Amino acid sequence: MAGLGGKIKQKLSQRKWKLKIKTWMLFLILVPLLFVDAFMLRQNHIRMTELRDAVLAADVEENDEKLAAALAELKEFVFHDVVINVVEENGVQRVTFGTGPFYLEHLYIRAATKALQKARDEMTSDNNPNGNVYGLAAGVCDAQARANGWNWASPGYMNCMMSEIAKYPSAGEIHDTITASLPSTELYRRNYASPVWAPTLTGALLLLTVVIIVVIFIRIVIWIVLRLSLLFI
């Protein structure tokens, strides 16, 4: 019995200690905690930006192994920590969790170039009646491409080809062949989403901040209710 009584007294003393934490104390804890949260989230954003820039740099270098490693490192970080980002779509900025959309432009250009080369080889073969048309268009546009620094997947080269091909009766068929050979740009679009909360230091600090805000809110509501109730007594 004595042991049980001691435990009860201990619990009561603990509860009494908890009740001594005033609301203003919680505010004193909350204010610097908010600054720490902002700092941690900023550090996560900076780290994500560095990893994403590394991916884009590897894409420019056209190094597939380096690109794959950079993508894996970026995904590992974003998928396991809280990353807040501001992205712009159609002139409107919005807050999102993750990298936001970005494109592997050079990887797409290489894939499109290979596809166009294959289509070009097929259409200029001896068995293809449209070969001369494509060859004539390429003869005009290749010279412009060399002068302007275009590649086969660039808009300038494609517009030139379509413009030249349109001069011939078989333009529709060739246009369809070229369009069908190009890979979808969506295959080279990346957008990695991060969790809203993660079991990391940043996540723990955010959770503590939310708990304190909820406790303060509940205490304020209780205080308002008690004050209002006194008016009717």
Shared domain for 31 and 88, answered yes or no, is: yes
Distances (CA, A) of 3 to 6, 8, 15, 63: 5, 9, 19, 71
Shared domain for 77 and 96, answered yes or no, is: yes
Per-residue pLDDT tens over the stretch 86-106 = 888 777 888 899 999 999 988
Are 74 and 55 spatial neighbours (Cβ–Cβ below 8 Å)?
Answer: yes
The predicted model scores a pTM of 0.69
In single-letter form, the type of residue at position 91 comes to: G
Shared domain for 58 and 171, answered yes or no, is: no
Shared domain for 79 and 125, answered yes or no, is: no
Query: Which 3 state secondary structure label does DSSP give 217?
Result: helix
Shared domain for 77 and 152, answered yes or no, is: no
Give Cα 77 to chain centroid, integer Å: 12
92 is in which domain, residue-wise?
A: 2-101+191-231
How many domains are there within the chain?
A: 2
- Sign (positive or negative) of CA dihedral 143, 179, 123, 110: positive
**CA–CA distance, 52 with 76 (Å, rounded to integer):** 12
Per-residue pLDDT tens over the stretch 173-212 = 656 666 667 778 888 899 999 999 999 999 999 999 999 9
Shared domain for 117 and 30, answered yes or no, is: no
Shared domain for 132 and 172, answered yes or no, is: yes
Shared domain for 72 and 127, answered yes or no, is: no
